[in-house]
Structure 1
C-alpha cells in the first residue's frame, strides 16, 4: 500500500524549470528540490545559484541541476527518481499558444504527453504542470481528455484550472492553465487555492524602483499606472531582443505610461523630464512577475553586457506567488490536512474523444449522437472530430455515403524511439530554437 510521506519530506523533481519562478514558489510552499532540469545553460546557472543557496539555508544538500533536453535520458532518467512527492514543470508553451499556430502534438516542442509518461515511471504522489491559456481552448479538448484518461490509467485523478496571476498578488494578468494530478489516495484532500482579496497595481509595485534615481515624474507616473499590467511576454530564441509583447500589449503598456519597445539599463534620473515615458528595467519586470520582497529575492545569471538573456528568464517564468499558492494546496493534500470531501479529477473535457476511444471501431455521426444522448448537435460533433484529427490519427471510411470514424494513435511525443522529434534535436543548429 502506498504510504504518505512524512510532513518534513516533501520533495520535488522539476522539469523545464526555466529560471526558477516555479522553483521558488514550491520552495516557499515547503517542497525541497532533489533535481531541476533545464535546457538553457544561463537559466540553469540561475537555478544552481539560487536553489543551492536555499538548500544550504535549510540544512539540505544542494539539488542536482541537469542541463539539456529533458526527454534525453543521457541528461536524466525519470526511473532514477522514484516516489518523490511532486513532479513539477512548465513544459514548452508554443504548441498551444494563441499567438502561434497551435500545432499541439505536431509541434516538436510539445512535451505534455511525455511528462505524463515520466510521471508513470517515477510514481510521484502529485504532478503539477503549467502552460498557457491556449491549452484551455476547444481546439485542445481531445488532447486534454487524453491526458486525463492516461493519468487515470496510472492511478491519478487530474484536472486543470485557469488561474490569473493578478488573483495572487502579482500585478499583471498572466493567465496560466494549471494541471494538478494526485494519486487517488490524496485527490479528495485537494482544493484549488482561493484568490487573495488585494490586487497590486503596476504603480504600487514599481514606484520605489522608478524613483530611485531621482526622476521628478515618478509619483505622477505611479498614479497613472493604477492597474495591473498586461501579460509579460518572454519570447523565445527564435525571436529578437527583449520587449514587452506584441503590438496590442505595447498599447496597453503605453496607457500605463510605459514604453514597451525594449528594456532600460536604469530608472530615469533627475534631469529627465517629468512627462517622459520610461522603459522598465529587468528588476522592474521581475517585480511585475512576482519577485517581490525578501522572500522572493533571486539572483539571475546573465551573459556579460546582455539584458536579453536576463529578460527572457524573467519573462518566461511562472510567477512565484502563483506557484506558491498551488504548491501550498498540493502540500496540504499530501499531508491530508483537510477533510476528504473534494471531487478533484471527476470533470470530463471532451465527450466526443471519449466516445471514439471507448467504441474502439468505426462509428458514424449518428452513432456518436446516440452515445452522447443528444447533448451535442451534429455540427458540434463534427467540429470536435476535426479538432481531434489534428492531434490523433483518425481513420475515416464511408459507409452508405456517410463518413465513419475510428480513433487511432495519439501523435504526441511520449518517448517513442521513432518519433520525428528526435530528428529535430539531432540537428545542432535547431537545438537552440527549442524553447
Structure 2
C-alpha cells in the first residue's frame, strides 16, 4: 500500500528523511526558514516545498491534502523547553495545539508530532490532557511516549517527546518501537571524519571520546552563533576532547595541536544527529547550517516511529487494545462541567483525596495555559476552567501580531 505524508515545520529534513526511509512519500513539506527550505529542495528536488508561516492560508491549503496517510511535524520547541520560560500556550511560537486542530481539516489516517522532553513534565499535564481529549473528540486515539535517540543508534543523549494518534480501526496495531541496543560512541562515529585531512591525533582522540554526546542544541535566532550548548554540555564535550566553543569550518589537519581538542564541523554534528556521512547537504553559512542540524529530529528515530505507524496502517501484527493514560484528572473534571467546583467536589468527582496544596499547585499550572476563574468569597474557594489560551487558528489571536513582529527572530 502506498503511504503519503504532509509534513509541517519540516526544518532541514531529519524527520522527513526518516519517514522516507520508513516508506512514506512526501506530498508536501512546509517550513518557515529559508535556508531549511533550500536544504530540502537541494536534497529532494522532487518534493513540493512550501516556504512561509505554516499557519498562513496563503502558504498552503490544508484541505487540499484531506485523507493523507500521515500528518507529521516537529513544531517549535521553545514554548516547552526546560531551559526556557515554558510559556506553553501563551508563547507566540506554540503551534502544537494548532497542529492538533489541523487534524479536523486534513483528516489524516495518522498524526505524528514530536517535541522536547519539557512537554512531558508536570507543568504541561493539562495541556497534554487537552490534546488527547481533543483528538478523541475528532475520532482519534492519541498516545504520548518519551523516546531516547540513543536507543536508536544515535550517539547522543537526546530525549524527544512524541505524540502519535491513529483512527480507532488502526490504533490497536500500533506499538512503540523498541530500543535497538547500545549506540556507537562519539569517537567511533567521528573517527573517519577526524582523520580525513591527515590529523595524526585522530585515533587517540577517538579512544578518549568514548561516550555518547550531550544533547545537540540548535538554539534560535534570538541567540548567538553556533556552539555545542550550555556550560554543562561544554564540560561534557571537553571531557571527550572536543572544544565546544564554536563549530569548525574544516576537520583538523596534519600537524594541528589543541589545548582541549578539535571543534566539530557542521557535518560532524549532523553525524551525531544520525545523518549518514555525505547523505545530506545543508544550505547557508556555518551558523545557519548548525541551527538546521541542531534543531532536527534524528532521522533514525523518525524512521523507527514511521515504521511503527506504517505497520499499524497496514494492520500488521497482533491487534492490542490501547490503554488510555490520564495525564491530568483535575483538568478532566473541571473541563467536564461548566460551573465552579470546590476542593471537596473535585475530590469526590475524581474519587481520591487531593491535599489542598497539591490542588492549588495543579490549578496554578492550569492557569498558565487556560483561562481559570477562582471564586474566593463567602464559602469555600471554588474553581472554573475557561478557554484554552493556545493559538488554534483564530484570526484575532495575539499570536498573529507577535509572530509578525518577531518573524525575523523565530526559528
TM-score by length of 1: 0.92
Secondary structure, counterpart of 1:87 in structure 2: strand
Aligned counterpart, 1:11: 4
- Is the 1:191–1:342 Cα contact (8 Å) retained in structure 2? no
The answer on whether the counterparts of 1:18 and 1:317 sit within 8 Å (CA) in structure 2 is yes
1:334 is aligned to 2:316: no
How far has the Cα of 1:233 moved from its partner? 0.4
- Are 2:398 and 1:420 equivalent residues in the alignment? yes
Instruction: Say if 2:175 is the partner of 1:182.
Output: no
**Contact 2:19/2:306, CA 8 A, preserved across alignment:** yes
Kindly indicate whether the alpha-carbon contact (under 8 Å) linking 2:150 and 2:182 is maintained by their aligned counterparts in 1: no
Measure the CA separation in 1 of the matches of 2:258 and 2:23: 45
Q: Match of 1:34?
A: 27
Listed as ranges, the matches of 1:111-126 within 5 Å are: 111-126=95-110
The CA deviation string for residues 272-298 of structure 1, in whole angstroms up to 9 with x for no partner, is: 13775110011110000000257xx11
Tell me if structure 1 keeps the 8 A contact 2:78–2:86: yes
Q: CA deviation at 1:375?
A: 4.7
The alignment partner of 1:223 has SS state of: helix
2:40 matched to which residue of 1?
47
| Shift in Å, 1:376 | 3.3
What is the correspondence of 1:16-415 to structure 2 with a 5 Å cutoff? 16-52=9-45, 62-273=46-257, 277-292=261-276, 297-302=279-284, 306-343=285-322, 346-398=324-376, 400-415=378-393
- Partner secondary structure for residue 393 of structure 1: strand
| Partner Cα separation in structure 1 for residue 127 and residue 265 of structure 2 | 38
Q: TM-score, normalised by structure 2?
A: 0.98
Q: Deviations over 1:111-132 (max 9, x none)?
A: 0110011111100000000000
Q: What whole-Å deviation, never above 9, does each CA across 1:346-377 have from its counterpart, x for those lacking one? A: 11111110010112210001111111222533
> How many angstroms apart in 2 are the aligned matches of 1:293 and 1:241?
24
The 8 Å contact of residues 224 and 257 in structure 1, kept in 2 or not, is answered as yes
Distance in 2, matches of 1:359 and 1:114, equals 24
Q: Secondary structure at the match of 1:402?
A: coil
User: Structure 2: which 5+ residue stretches go unaligned?
Assistant: none
**Distance (Å, rounded) in 1 between the aligned partners of 2:320 and 2:165:** 16
Aligned partners of 1:133 and 1:274: how far apart in 2? Answer: 35
> What are the ranges of 5 or more consecutive residues in structure 1 without an aligned counterpart?
1-6, 53-61
Hey, what's the Cα distance between the residues in 2 that align with 1:201 and 1:162?
22
State how far apart, in whole Å, the 1-side matches of 2:22 and 2:237 are: 32
Distance (Å, rounded) in 1 between the aligned partners of 2:42 and 2:169: 36
* CA offset digits 1:61-116 (Å, max 9, x no partner): x2321000000000012111100000000000000010000000110000011001
State whether residues 67 and 106 of structure 2, in contact with CA within 8 Å, keep that contact through their aligned partners in structure 1.
yes
Secondary structure at the residue paired with 1:432? Answer: helix
How far does residue 240 in structure 1 lie from its aligned partner after superposition?
Answer: 1.0
**DSSP 3-state at the match of 2:133:** helix
* SS in structure 2 at match of 1:310: helix
Q: What do you get for the CA RMSD once the two structures are aligned?
A: 1.3
Measure, in 2, the Cα distance between the counterparts of 1:396 and 1:276: 56
Distance 2:404 2:322 in 1: 44
* Distance (whole Å) between structure 1 residues aligned to residue 354 and residue 290 of structure 2: 46
CA distance in 1, matches of 2:83, 2:260: 31
Q: How many residues align?
A: 411
Give the match's secondary structure for 1:286.
helix
Displacement after TM superposition at 1:252 (Å): 0.8
Q: Residues of 1 paired with 2:231 and 2:242: CA distance?
A: 13
CA distance in 1, matches of 2:376, 2:281: 61
Contact kept, 8 Å, 1:369 with 1:378, in 2: the verdict is: no
Give the SS at the match of 2:376.
strand
Q: Distance in 1 between matches of 2:132 and 2:102?
A: 15
> What does the per-residue CA deviation read over 1:280-330, in whole Å, with 9 as the maximum and x for residues that have no partner?
011110000000257xx112112xxx2111111111100000000000000
